[in-house]
Structure 1
Amino acid sequence: MKITEQQLIRAIYSTWDFQQALSALTFLLEDCDFDRNYDKVSLRRFRCYESTLIVSMARPFETTRRGTTIGLRALGITLSQEEKKLVARILELRRKIVAHSDEEEMYFRSTSFPVLDGKGNFPHFQFNEGLHLEQHELHRLETLLRSLKAKLAEFFFRVAQEQPELLEKYREPDSIAKSE
């Protein structure tokens, strides 16, 4: 097994990212009845779960400032074509909608209406409050996240058996180390 220090650290962080994504997904699936209508506040709560799911799941697959990604192949992990499509969908949602506001992907309606006895107009904005992912996609994501977590656990178990010294680490952000 040959893996770089950066790949190992990225894999360690990815275990946390996938757990965060799975937690957000679990909260969403527990709280949301897809056959029910909800008020805007509830829909926004569900969107918060979904956004956390998308950002956390995408993070390992995005290139860091240091130029690394999770590098599944280096970890001995392969994805099916279906799983690759699902990851691509998550990355597209993250890049165009969740982490950035791509104007081509924005839904809104803006209007104004008269107020103060017709002496002025009040602006009014409406946004799409629904989820970006459908229920069947969420269930497929749950399966994928559980699979990724299990495969990472297998990888780290092998590392712990073959090269346990690689896992003897303590890491803190550079900003904390510099402030001391």
Structure 2
Amino acid sequence: MSSSRPLPSEAQLQRLVFAIRDLNHANSAIQFLLEECDFSKSYPRLALRKFKLLESAAIVAFGRLFSVSGGGTTPSFRLAGIRFSPADERIKKRIMDLRNTTVAHSDEEMMHYRVDLIRPMEDNLELAMPHLQIDDTLHLDENELGEFDRLVRELVYKYVFDISQTHPELVEKYVTPAASASNGG
């Protein structure tokens, strides 16, 4: 089999492999969230935090696909033969906007919280205990989460498949970190 697309560099290939890992992490977080969260129900604050944690993990893992690594590379969707549809671009933009403003970074204009001071002692009004309430509702509604799930699943299965078929010798390898080799591990 041959491909008309250029072959990825070694750095790009390694990013492709780690992109699969990131997609699998995003996929797992979404699946755990979908298994546990019924969008028609109300939940106690601790459960909402767990759901928010899973949603955040999925968003951050997905976002790594579009961020430059320490080595200066990003996974190349073009090299992998992947084209995003307009619907895919919309959900990708929504996820990346959440990642860049709220989930992986704390932009002040996106913060949603309330702090009340509770004065537990009537005879000592100087003693005030802060009561912090942060919005722990999900950023994505049920339909957006479904679209995110679909996009991640498609990317997991498409991402390295073509190059694995056309150039298996580039993909089939065992790589260890240089740091563990120098430490005898």
Cα 1:72–1:50, aligned 2, differ >3 Å: closer, same or farther?
same
CA positional deviation for 1:46? 0.5
List alignment gaps of at least 5 residues for structure 1.
none
Mapping of residues 96-175 of structure 1, within 5 Å: 96-119=101-124, 120-158=127-165, 162-175=166-179
| C-alpha separation in 2, matches of 1:154 and 1:129 | 38
- TM (norm. structure 2) is 0.89
List alignment gaps of at least 5 residues for structure 2.
1-5
| Number of aligned positions between the proteins | 177
SS in 2 for 1:65: coil
CA positional deviation for 1:118? 3.8
The percentage of counterpart residues that share the same residue type is: 37
1:54 matches 2:45 = no
SS in 2 for 1:111: strand
Counterpart amino acid of 1:136? N
| C-alpha separation in 1, matches of 2:141 and 2:72 | 32
- TM (norm. structure 1) is 0.91
CA positional deviation for 1:169? 2.6
1:3 matches 2:8 = yes
CA positional deviation for 1:156? 3.8
Aligned to 1:94: 99
| C-alpha separation in 2, matches of 1:56 and 1:68 | 16
| Structure number having the greater helix percentage | 1
Counterpart amino acid of 1:151? K
| C-alpha separation in 2, matches of 1:47 and 1:91 | 16
CA positional deviation for 1:153? 4.3
Aligned to 1:25: 30
Aligned to 2:3: none
Runs of 4+ in structure 1 displaced over 4 angstroms? none
Q: Give the alignment's Cα RMSD to 1 decimal.
A: 1.5
SS in 2 for 1:112: strand
Compare relative contact order (CA 8 Å, sep 6+) and give the higher one, 1 or 2. 2
SS in 1 for 2:128: strand
User: 1:81 is matched with which residue: 86, 108, 119?
Assistant: 86
